[in-house]
């Protein structure tokens, strides 16, 4: 056996001797110092090329979300750095100019070597985080971020960096004028895309892996748009099976600071997803496998979320059939109905389907623009399937109304008919954006002409 090994090794040595020298000479013709100088020069030119404008997806630690920075590298050794984030300039847009260079260390290093008001707050050890940030920290540590980054790989339009102190992987992507005419317009658009992708009033987003395993995703201690995420397997609990991860949001989607290793650990057929790209229907698709998705809750499940009140839209074209007829009749009856021989002259404001937290019951909620004329008619709701909802109502049940609900239900035949319409048959739910699902259309399965668009109020993120 040893003889065979020696012969094989000898043959391999002859082969290498005959074919490799020219390749070795090409690779190692320059000294290590010369090769480093070439790499430094090459990366410097790359950063400056095509206008020199890049988007950095910056992370300073696992205790904070990622922050977007636009950096424009100039040939004179200066760089313009812009951002809009909660830790800098009171959250308002800011841009500042400082110096930069690619230097040689254990490898080529991108260094921002003079103070920049927009950027160096994260690497300033004299900062007490509680003064500029949202949580407290020991004085003398600050955000513990980096201002020097080892360049570990690149393509024409993307660079992978690693924080010199933190070793956190950071991505830089070339940014064109077509994508953002100005730095400030990028951040304005970023806010709009964030509002369209997430809503701070919706809970229980769903991550589904390629193998079909489902995880519930929520904000970790706050709304999900804060980019602190929690995960647990569907049917489990955050306490028993919870995983936690911070992320950054860009106009393209969501990128987690670290891969979601637990996906692979739970099922070896699933990838440890890290980046998700926004799709036309608003959902997020994993770029690593093209199969793992993050979507909003099933449409019918949104009716279980107690913080949402669904307004029946009265905008033209967003209500049809008997819904529109009865809504208009309620408006007319509110003005003309007489009580004690006097017209009420009420101005009807809105109808809403939602949860009454005080009564712990679902309701049809209404308001008239006269004093405190709010009222509730309590209904039951049943989820038939992910896209189908059904309501029922018993006017003789205990607590079927509050005081105003009982009065108005008795006064207005059109309101009684509206309750009957809502509580007759099954309604199919649909939405164009499956992440936020707002607005959502509710259409009668027995008579598609009867439909209404449902909307809940959204808070700016």
Paired residues of 382 in beta bridges: 390
Block means of pLDDT (10 residues each) for the chain, 461 residues, are 36 37 51 89 96 97 95 98 95 97 93 95 71 43 87 94 96 94 96 90 94 95 91 93 96 97 94 97 96 96 92 93 96 92 90 92 90 89 96 95 94 96 97 92 97 79 36
Bond into 52 cis (ω within 30): no
At residue 142, the pLDDT reads: 67
Cα 453 to the center of its chain, rounded Å: 24
- Strand, coil or helix: what is 278? strand
Task: Spell out the alpha helix ranges (H) of 63-158.
Answer: 129-132
- Strand, coil or helix: what is 186? helix
Q: Whole-angstrom Cα distance, residue 377 to residue 421?
A: 14
* CB of 131 closer than 8 Å to CB of 186: no
- What is the β-pairing status of strands 253-256 and 293-295? unpaired
Please tell me the pTM assigned to this model: 0.84
At residue 409, the pLDDT reads: 95
HEC string for 134-176: CCCCCCCCCCCCCCEEEEEEECCCEEEEEECCCCCEEEEEECC
Q: Whole-angstrom Cα distance, residue 146 to residue 112?
A: 10
Q: What dihedral do alpha carbons 260, 262, 268, 270 form, nearest 10°?
A: -40
- Strand, coil or helix: what is 443? strand
In 3D space, the residue among 190, 143, 191, 149 whose CA is nearest the CA of residue 172 turns out to be: 149
Q: Per-domain residue ranges for the chain?
A: 1-30, 41-189, 198-296, 302-455
Q: Whole-angstrom Cα distance, residue 436 to residue 454?
A: 13
Q: Whole-angstrom Cα distance, residue 10 to residue 14?
A: 6
Largest CA distance in the chain: 117
Buried b vs exposed e over 80-106: b needs ≥16 C-beta within 10 Å?
A: bbbbbbebbbeeebbbbebebebeeee
At residue 354, the pLDDT reads: 94
Task: Name, in order, each residue with C-beta under 8 angstroms of 12's C-beta and a sequence gap of 6 or more.
Answer: none
Token readout for 289 is: 């496998």
Long-range contacts of 75-81 (CB under 8 A, 24+ apart): 75/48, 77/101, 79/112, 79/116, 80/183, 81/112, 81/116, 81/118, 81/119
Q: What is the DSSP string of 228-271?
A: EEEEEETTS-HHHH-EEEEEEE-SSEEEESS--HHHHHH-TTS-
Long-range contacts of 284-293 (CB under 8 A, 24+ apart): 284/197, 284/253, 284/254, 284/435, 289/210, 291/209, 291/210, 292/207, 292/208, 292/209, 292/210, 292/263, 293/207, 293/208
Q: Whole-angstrom Cα distance, residue 174 to residue 46?
A: 10
Alpha-carbon torsion (75, 79, 80, 83), positive or negative:
positive
Domain 41-189: give its CATH architecture: Beta Barrel (2.40)
* CB of 200 closer than 8 Å to CB of 95: no
Cα 339 to the center of its chain, rounded Å: 51
């Amino acid at each position: 056996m040893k003889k065979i090994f020696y012969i094989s090794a000898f043959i391999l040595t002859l082969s290498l001797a005959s074919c490799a020298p020219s390749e070795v000479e090409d690779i190692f013709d320059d000294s290590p110092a010369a090769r480093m100088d070439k790499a430094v020069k090459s990366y410097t030119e790359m950063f400056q090329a095509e206008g020199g404008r890049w988007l950095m997806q910056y992370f300073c630690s696992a205790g904070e979300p990622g922050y977007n920075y636009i950096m424009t590298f100039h040939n004179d050794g200066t760089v313009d750095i812009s951002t809009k984030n909660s830790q800098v300039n009171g959250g308002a847009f800011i841009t500042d100019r400082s110096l930069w260079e690619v230097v040689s260390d254990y490898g080529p290093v991108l260094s921002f070597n003079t103070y920049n008001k927009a950027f160096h707050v994260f690497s300033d050890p004299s900062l007490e985080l509680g003064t500029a940030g949202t949580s407290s920290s020991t004085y003398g540590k600050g955000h513990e971020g980096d201002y020097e980054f080892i360049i570990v790989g690149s393509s024409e339009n993307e660079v992978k960096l690693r924080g010199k102190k933190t070793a956190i992987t950071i991505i830089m992507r070339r940014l064109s004028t077509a994508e953002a005419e100005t730095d400030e317009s990028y951040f304005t658009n970023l806010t709009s895309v964030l509002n369209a992708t997430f809503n701070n009033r919706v809970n229980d987003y769903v991550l589904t892996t390629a193998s079909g395993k489902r995880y519930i995703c929520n904000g970790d201690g706050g709304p999900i748009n804060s980019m602190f995420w929690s995960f647990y397997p569907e049917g489990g609990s955050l306490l028993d099976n919870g995983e936690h991860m911070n992320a950054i949001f860009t106009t393209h989607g969501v990128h987690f600071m670290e891969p979601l290793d637990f996906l692979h650990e739970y099922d070896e057929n699933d990838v440890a997803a890290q980046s998700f790209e926004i799709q036309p229907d608003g959902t997020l698709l994993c770029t690593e496998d093209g199969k793992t998705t993050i979507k909003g809750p099933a449409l019918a499940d949104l009716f279980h979320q107690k913080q949402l009140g669904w307004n029946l839209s009265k905008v033209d074209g967003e209500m049809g059939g008997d819904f529109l007829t009865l809504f208009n009749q309620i408006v007319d009856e509110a003005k003309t109905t007489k009580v004690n021989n006097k017209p009420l002259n009420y101005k009807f404001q809105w109808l809403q389907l939602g949860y009454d937290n005080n009564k712990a019951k679902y309701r049809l909620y209404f308001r008239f623009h006269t004093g405190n004329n709010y009222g509730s008619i309590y209904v039951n709701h049943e989820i038939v399937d992910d896209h189908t909802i059904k309501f029922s109502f018993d006017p003789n049940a205990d607590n079927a109304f509050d005081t105003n609900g009982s009065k108005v239900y008795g006064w207005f035949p059109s309101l009684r008919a509206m309750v009957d319409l809502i509580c007759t048959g099954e309604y199919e739910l649909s939405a164009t954006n499956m992440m936020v699902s707002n607005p959502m259309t509710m259409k009668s399965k027995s008579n598609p002409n009867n439909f209404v668009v449902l909307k809940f109020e959204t808070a700016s993120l």
